[in-house]
């Protein structure tokens, strides 16, 4: 796996949606760090230069995240020092759990040590770990940035009168179970939103999150909620929708990448059992617009004398 190639692809996708002062710099620093790493095999002094460059990539990634996730302008971001931005992310609950762990790890193991210890001499092992760790951090952080950009784009859209009428009809029906309302809402999302087979899962998640949030004040939308199995093990379904006493789990998949729906059904069923929720939805998105045929089916699962219902929409 070429992580740098993945990061370059992410940067290209983000640049299609909005301009950035920082994305190109991130890639350049990572690219140069790899070159210095190879040069270190002949001259070990280059290993310190690897970490200097990974630190620069780390700072650039944080600036891009501060702008997008913090809702700042380029000018506001540029005025902030790296320490200001690091403190912002340290003090505020902005990063997703995996991103936060990578952020804290790189900051503690390389960023802080190399910044404050001017006598530090790094070897090939340390340079390698720094490069791998910062690349992982940048890759996962850019996924969250992509999700947020897609969220902002969808949130800014104004639904037409026909869609608003459909929403009102669905949400005002007090007799219809929540899961059936969400099934119908996902069908509208599929018909209204362009989700081709090339869409990234993080973009789809961002769009769907914004779409669901615009629905009704009675609906609470939880994205990637943490559900504990025991004190150390937990799962995170993509969404849980809550309205009054009802809850529904939604797991999102890209349709073209699902050869076997049984695995998806089992995954949703497992979430339902852990969360003690009766109904869930496996949402398959990403069909070509001119060929899209949106359907739904229902699967009943009985486990330990409990009945769970999994709907497939897509």
Whole-angstrom Cα distance, residue 149 to residue 23?
A: 14
Give me the CATH code for the 3-154 domain, please: 1.20.120
Full-prediction pTM beyond 0.75? yes
Say whether pLDDT at 296 is over 80.
Answer: no
Query: What's residue 197's pLDDT?
Result: 62
pLDDT given at position 290: 45
Mean pLDDT on 275-289: 84
| pLDDT for the residue numbered 116 | 59
Share above pLDDT 90 across residues of the chain, in percent, rounded to a whole number: 66
**Highest averaged pLDDT of the listed ranges 11-20, 209-218, 268-277:** 268-277
In 3D space, the residue among 286, 293, 289, 268 whose CA is nearest the CA of residue 278 turns out to be 268
The sign one gets for the Cα dihedral 143, 183, 235, 96 is positive
Give the start-to-end residue ranges of the domains of the chain.
3-154, 159-313
159-313 architecture in CATH? 3-Layer(aba) Sandwich (3.40)
Rounded mean pLDDT, 106-123? 79
Nearest alpha carbon to residue 62 among 111, 15, 16: 111
Report how far residue 292's alpha carbon sits from residue 314's, in angstroms, rounded to the nearest whole number. 9
241 beta partners: 221, 248
pLDDT at residue 59 in the model: 96
């Amino acid at each position: 796996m070429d992580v740098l190639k993945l990061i370059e692809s992410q940067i290209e996708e983000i640049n299609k949606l909005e301009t950035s002062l920082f994305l190109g710099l991130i890639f350049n620093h990572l690219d140069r760090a790899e070159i210095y790493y190879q040069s270190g095999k002949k001259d070990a002094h280059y290993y310190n230069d690897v970490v200097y460059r990974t630190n620069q990539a780390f700072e650039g990634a944080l600036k891009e995240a501060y702008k997008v996730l913090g809702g700042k302008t380029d000018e506001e971001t540029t005025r902030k020092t790296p320490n200001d931005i690091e403190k912002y992310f340290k003090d505020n609950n902005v990063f997703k759990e995996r991103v936060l762990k990578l952020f804290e790890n790189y900051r503690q193991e390389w960023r802080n040590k190399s910044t404050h210890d001017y006598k530090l001499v790094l070897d090939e092992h340390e340079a390698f770990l720094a490069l791998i760790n910062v690349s992982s951090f940048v890759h996962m952080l850019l996924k969250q940035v992509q999700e947020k950009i897609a969220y902002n784009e969808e949130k800014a859209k104004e639904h037409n009168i026909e869609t608003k009428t459909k929403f009102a009809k669905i949400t005002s029906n007090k007799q219809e179970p929540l899961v059936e309302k969400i099934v119908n809402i996902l069908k509208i999302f599929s018909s209204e939103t362009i989700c081709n087979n090339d869409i990234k899962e993080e973009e789809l998640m961002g769009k769907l999150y914004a779409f669901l949030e615009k629905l009704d004040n009675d609906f609470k939308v939880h994205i990637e909620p943490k559900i504990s199995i025991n004190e150390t093990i937990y799962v995170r379904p993509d969404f849980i929708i809550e309205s009054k006493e009802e809850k529904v789990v939604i797991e999102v998949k890209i349709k073209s990448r699902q050869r076997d729906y049984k695995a998806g059904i089992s995954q949703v069923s497992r979430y339902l059992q852990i969360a003690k929720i009766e109904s869930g939805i496996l949402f398959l998105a990403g069909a070509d617009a001119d060929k899209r045929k949106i359907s739904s089916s229902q699967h009943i699962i009985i486990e330990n004398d409990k009945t769970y219902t999994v709907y497939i929409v897509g």
